[in-house]
Every structure is written in C-alpha cells, then in structure tokens.
Amino acid sequence: MIFGAHTSTTGGVDKAIIRGRELGCDCIQIFVKNNMRWFGTPYSQSELQSWKEESAKHNPQVIFAHAGYLINLASPPEGNREKSIQSLKQELEFCAQLELPFLVLHPGAHLKQGEEEGIKNVIKALNEVFDSLPSGPRVALEITAGQGTCLGYKLEHLTEIMEKVEKPERLGICLDTAHLFGAGFDIRLPEVWDGVLTKLNQLVGLNNLLGVHLNDSKAELGSHVDRHDHIGKGKIGVEAFAYIVNDSRLKDIPGCLETPKSKDFHEDRDNLKILRELVR
Ligand SMILES: [Zn+2]
Ligand SMILES: [Zn+2]
C-alpha cells in the first residue's frame, strides 16, 4: 500500500504537500475547501502556481481529496439537495484545478425518507453533477458506519449507486476500516476482511477500489458510531492491520490515516511507523 495521512491545508493548499512530505507520507488526503462550509473561495493564480511546483516533486506520490461534510446528495428536493449538488460541483472543479484523481464522498443521509428513496436521490444528483461537468476527477463513495440515517454502511448501497448511475466510470469506492467496524464488519477476523474484498470484487471489481482509510475505532463493533482511533489503540487492534496492509489486493492503493492529531502531527508519524513496520 501507499501509506499517508490526511493533511491540513492551513496557510495555503500547497502547505498540505509540504506537511505530508515532512511527515513521510507517500499519499495525502486534503479538503479542497473548508469542510464545514458549503462553498469556498476559488484558488488564486499564485496558490495554484505554488501547488503546481510542490506537486511536481512527486512526493507524496498520490494526492486526493475528501468532500466537505455538509454535502448530502440523498437529501430530498425540499432539503439541501440543490446546495449539495452545487457544493460538490465546486469541489470537483477545485480538484480538477489541483489535478487530483478522485474526491472521497459519503453517499449521504436519507433523513427518514427511507434508504431506497435516499439512494434514488443520490443517483439522480450524481447524474446531474456528471452531466454538468463532462470530465473531471472521479467520486469515490466511502463506506460509512451508518450513523443516524446515513447510507453507505453496506457495500451494496455503494455498488447499487455505481450500477445505476449513468456514468459509472466517474465513480469509485473508498473503504474505511473504522467505518467497516462500526457498520458491523468484524474485520478483526481475517475471513471477514477477506469477505469484504471478495464481495466488492464480485459486485464492481477491485479495480474500482480507489483508496482505503486506515483508522482504528474508538467505537464498538456494529455500534454505527464513527470515531477514529490510533492504529492499535482502538477496538480493532493492530493484528487486523497486520493482514490488511499485507493484502496483495491492496498493492499500490493509497492507505490513508484519518486519526486524531495534535499541532505537531507527531501522532501521524507514530501511526505511519506502526503501519510500515507491519509490512512483511
Ligand atoms: Zn470520510
Ligand atoms: Zn474515512
């Protein structure tokens, strides 16, 4: 796997690359705008120029983005549907400017309309987004812990969207170990982990797996709670990560930490060291 961490863009988007490089990340994930706002200010020419210069150094080798948290494509029309579509479009445009290959997105929350209705809304919204942006980065639908009415805690939610959307080539999948665990997949058992990848392969093909978030979980198995912990410090435990990072099916796939961090990011260094030491 290509190991790395989510890195902060504080002080300018190019700073995320510099931080990632300092931490020894081979991949980084970023937010392309404030993740708690609907819309961001477009990048200035000088910001894009510095980004270009930093990213041309090819270290970290893979850079991708995670979408903002307000976007809910499962929302009914009377809710935040239109804003969500416009916000996602802006993020994809920003990703395109930064030449990122994909943007990780949570499928959304159905807000008590029911899962079927929610999934229909997601498909319609994605069709609209891809119609208005004929080319650009892919959207990697992320597995979720299934908090509240959030969709995406089953592989089938993600793969149904992929199968029914008009342009499936614009989509991909992102797994998250903590979300899988919260959703009820006991990945402490190698056969359960193996089952997840086998099923994903049968449903859409592992060539559509674009990234994996490597997080331990503070939350219990099947709790539907999304709380990340340091590798080996949570309920999943280091043994599971030992076979996950050595799974040959994940070769060349970015494995990105989204674990808690303090100002000096030393936790990212520690977690990366643990992951790398597990590689056989
Ligand atoms: Zn996520
Ligand atoms: Zn994640």
Kindly report, residue by residue over 154-165, the tens digit of the pLDDT: 999 999 999 999
Contacts 24+ apart (CB under 8 A), 188-193: 188/236, 188/237, 188/239, 188/240, 190/243, 193/240, 193/243, 193/244, 193/247
> Which ligand has an atom closest to residue 177 CA?
2
Distance CA 30, CA 10 (A): 10
CA of 5 to the centre of ligand 2 (A): 11
Other CB atoms closer than 10 Å to residue 246's CB: what's the count? 13
Q: What is the DSSP letter of 154?
A: S
> Which ligand has an atom closest to residue 106 CA?
1
Q: What is the pLDDT of residues 117-131, one digit of tens each?
A: 999 999 999 999 999
Which of 22, 23, 129 shows the shortest CA–CA distance to 67? Answer: 129
Domains of the chain by range and CATH? 2-278 (3.20.20.150)
> Which ligand has an atom closest to residue 180 CA?
2
Instruction: Give me the pLDDT at residue 78, please.
Output: 86
CA of 144 to the centre of ligand 2 (A): 8
In sign, the C-alpha dihedral spanning 32, 48, 6, 209 is positive
CA of 255 to the centre of ligand 2 (A): 10
| Residue 278: band (very low, low, confident or very high) from pLDDT cuts 50, 70, 90 | very high
Cβ atoms 32, 91 nearer than 8 A: yes
Q: What is the pLDDT of residues 233-250, one digit of tens each?
A: 999 999 999 999 999 999
Q: What is the pLDDT of residues 91-119, one digit of tens each?
A: 999 999 999 999 999 999 999 999 999 99
Other CB atoms closer than 10 Å to residue 14's CB: what's the count? 21
CA of 45 to the centre of ligand 2 (A): 31
CA of 130 to the centre of ligand 2 (A): 23
Q: What is the rounded average pLDDT of the residues 196-216?
A: 98
Residue 173 confidence (pLDDT) above 90: yes
Cβ atoms 15, 266 nearer than 8 A: no
pTM score: 0.98
CA of 230 to the centre of ligand 2 (A): 13
> Which ligand has an atom closest to residue 212 CA?
2
Q: What is the pLDDT of residues 41-94, one digit of tens each?
A: 999 999 999 999 999 998 999 999 999 999 999 999 888 999 999 999 999 999
Cβ atoms 65, 30 nearer than 8 A: yes
